[in-house]
Amino acid sequence: MKAFYSGVAILFILVGVAGGYIWLQVNKLNTPIDLAQPQLYEVSPGASAIAVIDDLRTKGITSVPDVVSRLWFKVEPEVSQVRAGVFQLRPGMSLRSVFTLLAKGHEYQFPVSLVEGLTLQQWLSTLLAAPHLVDDTQGKMPSQWRLKLQRVSGMPDDAYPEGLFLADTYHYSAGIRISDILLRANQAMVIFLEEAWPNRGDNLPYDSPYDALIMASIIEKETAVATERPRIAGVFVNRLRKGMRLQTDPTVIYGIGDEFDGNLTRAHLREKTPYNTYVIKGLPPTPIAMPGREAINAALHPALTDEYYFVSKGDGSHQFSATLEAHNRAVNQYQRAKNRE
């Protein structure tokens, strides 16, 4: 009889030990995973929850035994329905929260900044370098999806779609196409212009929102000083109202295209291209860069000024002048003095 009771006691002890072990392992489902910093984790299409947790064990992110994880997935099958994609695992997450994340498909959103003042071709280079984007452009604007772009009122039918995309930071999940990002930027631009155009200033020399977009692109290229944008716009509006040529270097450079080597010459200023505002009157035929919200607002709400000229001071800012005589003095002070250095 003593042997019987001893055996029963040992059995209870073993059951207790086993139960305690299982409780400790199950408790690991709610304790933080072994991760010191955020980490991107990719679940391949068709991967099972078992395969994922095996991989997490191999990577040292969890030590939950296989038997416990299999039992868990049977008891809570909803967490085992993992979805393919790229996810961000963060320190402090439990294994339960990891698999909840994977099951809900809350993929990591990659940021890509499409910067003001760049051209469409430069944006395409940025997007080609962004991680986990699918290239469906081959580095250029395919005609088959160019037709999907929303048009800005006043835009010619045959115009190259420069400037039709709003500069901003866009977020995307892995596997999104480059064209999808550009179409979103295009929609954002159309919506922004549709809202901003009716609230524009009075008596502006623009026939359409597209004219304002062209002006905004020039403003974007002329200054990186935010406070100067309305003043630059005021100068250009004054010149348009008076029938003066805009005479802005960035339009000339855009018209030269890939042949421009960084040295703008007098011959360039005399060369007749559709974009050379030293030769043509009015605005160039299309935007010359991607404008942001601030430049568009400046084009639609230019500063009230009597100035018709400005020249770079060499530090990113400009000297503004109301008369040609004052402008020539400023040129002599800032540009010719710079050339003598």
190-208: average pLDDT: 96
What average pLDDT does the structure give for the chain? 88
Residue, of 125 and 140, whose pLDDT is higher: 125
Asked whether 284 and 240 are in contact (CB, 8 A), the reply is: no
Q: How far is the C-alpha of 95 from the C-alpha of 192, rounded, in Å?
A: 43
User: How much is the pLDDT for 27?
Assistant: 60
214-236: average pLDDT: 95
Asked whether 309 and 320 are in contact (CB, 8 A), the reply is: yes
Asked whether 218 and 296 are in contact (CB, 8 A), the reply is: no
How would DSSP label each residue in 43-68? EPTT--HHHHHHHHHHTTS----HHH
- Give the start-to-end residue ranges of the domains of the chain: 28-104, 110-196, 201-340
> What φ, ψ does residue 140 adopt, rounded to 5°?
-150, 180
- Backbone φ/ψ region at 92: left (φ over 0), alpha (ψ -120 to 50), beta: left
Checking if the pLDDT of 237 tops 90, the result is yes
Token code pair at residue 10: 């040992």
| Amino acid (one-letter) located at 218 | I
**Number of Cβ atoms within 10 Å of the Cβ of 340:** 6
What's the sign of the alpha-carbon dihedral 248, 211, 167, 184? negative
Asked whether 290 and 117 are in contact (CB, 8 A), the reply is: yes
User: How much is the pLDDT for 137?
Assistant: 86
Percent of the chain at pLDDT > 90 equals: 72
The reported pTM is 0.84
266-285: average pLDDT: 93
Checking if the pLDDT of 144 tops 80, the result is no
Relative to beta strand 133-134, strand 176-177 is parallel
- Over the stretch 40-89, which tens digit does the pLDDT of each residue have? 999 999 999 999 999 999 999 998 999 888 989 998 999 999 999 999 99
Q: Could you tell me the fold of the domain covering 28-104? A: Dna Ligase; domain 1 (3.30.1490)
What's the sign of the alpha-carbon dihedral 321, 326, 328, 334? negative
CB neighbour list of residue 18: distance below 8 Å, 6 or more residues apart: none
Helix (H) / strand (E) element for 42: namely strand 39-43
Residue, of 188 and 264, whose pLDDT is higher: 188
Can you tell me which residue has the tokens 């502006």?
204
- 28: confidence class by pLDDT, cuts 50, 70, 90: low
Residue, of 159 and 169, whose pLDDT is higher: 169
How would DSSP label each residue in 174-199? TTEEHHHHHHHHHHHHHHHHHHHGGG
- 181: confidence class by pLDDT, cuts 50, 70, 90: very high
| 109 alpha-carbon distance from chain centroid | 12
User: How much is the pLDDT for 1?
Assistant: 55
- Backbone φ/ψ region at 107: left (φ over 0), alpha (ψ -120 to 50), beta: beta
Checking if the pLDDT of 11 tops 50, the result is no
